[in-house]
Amino acid sequence: MSYILFDRLFLVAPVTPQSEAANAGWPCVILSDLITFRHFSHPKAWAPHSIPVGDGAAALAATAAAPMGSSGQSVVPVVVGGPGTVGSGSVVGGAIAQQPNGVVAPVVNLAALPPHLQSQAPAPGLNEQQHALSLQLAAETRLTYPFAVQCLQENGWDPVLAMGNFQALKAAGAIPAEAFVP
């Protein structure tokens, strides 16, 4: 027996005077109705400290002291999920790195990126790991950087899910031409 759970979110607002809803006696109207289905999660997954987290200072120091590639260019470590959950896509000009907190992560070699991505500044509000994931997705899919960021944001920064949804949308012809690098 398997369980599928859901969350439902209603966005409501007060009715405007003399509207049909006000005349019917309703105190509010539904502006948005969002339902999200998900797999069952054991209650212990929601317990405090159930997800192991590394030392933030150590991870920051590791990012600041990023290793140099063979060409002298710096490489950016990207932490993806947790141990053993590295994305399935190729790693652009990189390898697999062991982070100080034990998390295995792909390394993106900035020199191996397409020229238009090598000097790409991080989008506002992104941390280094999100920026590196965005660069990797943009290089693998030929999406422009802003569309790669959007794809990852809309997929919860899960690169495997983002790539799967990208491939499905591309096959359906649902991605506009301006989303791709010319």
- Residue 84: predicted pLDDT: 36
Are residues 38 and 87 located together in one domain of the fold?
Answer: no
CATH of the domain at 88: 1.10.8.10
Classify residue 65: in a domain, yes or no: no
* Same domain (yes/no): 30, 89: no
- Contact by Cβ (8 Å): 103, 83: yes
Question: Going by DSSP bridges, is the β-strand pair 104-109/75-77 parallel, antiparallel, or unpaired?
Answer: antiparallel
* Whether 23 and 102 share a structural domain: no
Find the Cα–Cα–Cα–Cα dihedral 116, 122, 126, 132, rounded to 10°: 50
At 73, the amino acid letter reads: Q
9 and 90 both lie in a single domain: no
Find the domain containing 20 and state its range.
Answer: 4-43
Per residue in 27-86, pLDDT (tens digit) is 999 999 999 988 877 777 777 776 666 555 554 455 444 444 444 444 444 444 433 333
Q: Which of 33-42, 126-135, 166-175 shows the lowest mean pLDDT across its residues?
A: 33-42
Q: Assign residue 23 a region: left if phi > 0, alpha if psi is -120 to 50, beta otherwise?
A: alpha
Question: Is 96 a member of any domain?
Answer: yes
- Does residue 174 sit in the same domain as residue 130? yes
Burial of 3 (0-12, 13-18, 19+ CB in 10 A): exposed
Lowest mean pLDDT segment, chosen from 25-34, 85-94, 144-153: 85-94
- 85 and 126 together in one domain: yes
169 and 91, same domain (yes or no): yes
β-sheet with 96-98: strand ranges across: 75-77, 104-109, 96-98
- Is 153 found in the same domain as 87? yes
Judged against a pLDDT cut of 50, whether residue 143 lies above it is answered with yes
Q: How many domains does the chain have?
A: 2
d(CA 58, CA 45): 25
CB 81 within 8 A of CB 104: no
Neighbours of 93 (CB within 10 A): 19
